[in-house]
Amino acid sequence: MSAKHTIDQVQQVQGKGKGMIRQIYWHMKGEQQRPAWNCLMFNNAARPKAYFTMWIILNQKLVTVDRLVQWGVAVDKNSVLCMNTEESIEHLFLQCQYARKLWERLLGWIDQQSAFPMTWGQFLQWSTQHGKEKSTTTQIFTIVLAEGVYGVWIERNNKIIEHKSKMEENTAKEIAYVTIARASPSIKNVVRQWKF
C-alpha cells in the first residue's frame, strides 16, 4: 500500500484537520486488542527500570540464554542462578530456586499466599487475575511484581557480569524498601503495618 493511498483513505474517512499523523498511525496499525496483562502496567508505581523490564518480559522480548542460542550466539546454556537447567524466561523467573524463594518471601510479605505458577501461561493468567482490581492490595501486588521481575533479572546479570550474588532474603528486603518508598501515601500506611 502506498503512502499516498493511505493518506487519501484517512482523509476520506476523517476529513482534513487535527491529528492527521495520529489518524494515519491508527489506520495503518489496524484493530488490535490490548493484552490481558495491560492491567499490570497501568498506574504501576514501580521504578521505571523495573516497569520497563516487566514490559519487556510480558512481551517475551527479554534476551535470555535460550533466545541468544536461537540467534546463533555461542553461550553457556545453564542458568547462572541455579546452574541446574537451561535458562529461559520460564525457568529464570518461575522455576529457578532463587526466583521461587524470592517470590515466596515477597508474596508472603504482601499476604498473597496463593500457589505460584510454574509455566509462562499460568504466570500470565495468575498475575493478570491478581492485578485487575483497583484496590490497595492490587497496587502493592503490581509494584512487587515489577520490582521482583527486575530483582531477578539484575541478580542474574550481576552474577554473569560482576561475578557477585546476593541472598534471596537481601533482594527481597531491597524490593520491600523500594515498594514502600515508591508507594503512594495511602499504600504506605498499609505496607508499614506489615512485618517483613
CB atoms near residue 94 (< 10 Å): 20
Instruction: Give the per-residue pLDDT at 17.
Output: 55
Cα-based distances in Å from 100 to 57, 85, 176: 17, 15, 16
Band of the pLDDT at 47, cuts 50, 70, 90? very high
Evaluate if residue 71 carries a pLDDT over 70.
Answer: yes
Instruction: Give the per-residue pLDDT at 16.
Output: 53
Evaluate if residue 177 carries a pLDDT over 70.
Answer: yes
Angle separating helix axes 97-109 and 136-161, nearest 10 degrees: 150
Which residues neighbour 110 within 8 Å (Cβ) at sequence distance 6 or greater?
137, 140, 141, 144, 194
Mean pLDDT over residues 171-192, rounded? 86
pLDDT above 70 coverage of the chain, percent: 90
The whole-angstrom separation of Cα 184 and Cα 159 is 33
Q: 86-136, pLDDT tens digit by residue?
A: 999 999 999 999 999 999 999 988 887 777 888 999 999 999 988 888 888
Cα-based distances in Å from 36 to 51, 89, 93, 147, 168: 16, 19, 19, 20, 30
Report if pTM > 0.85: no
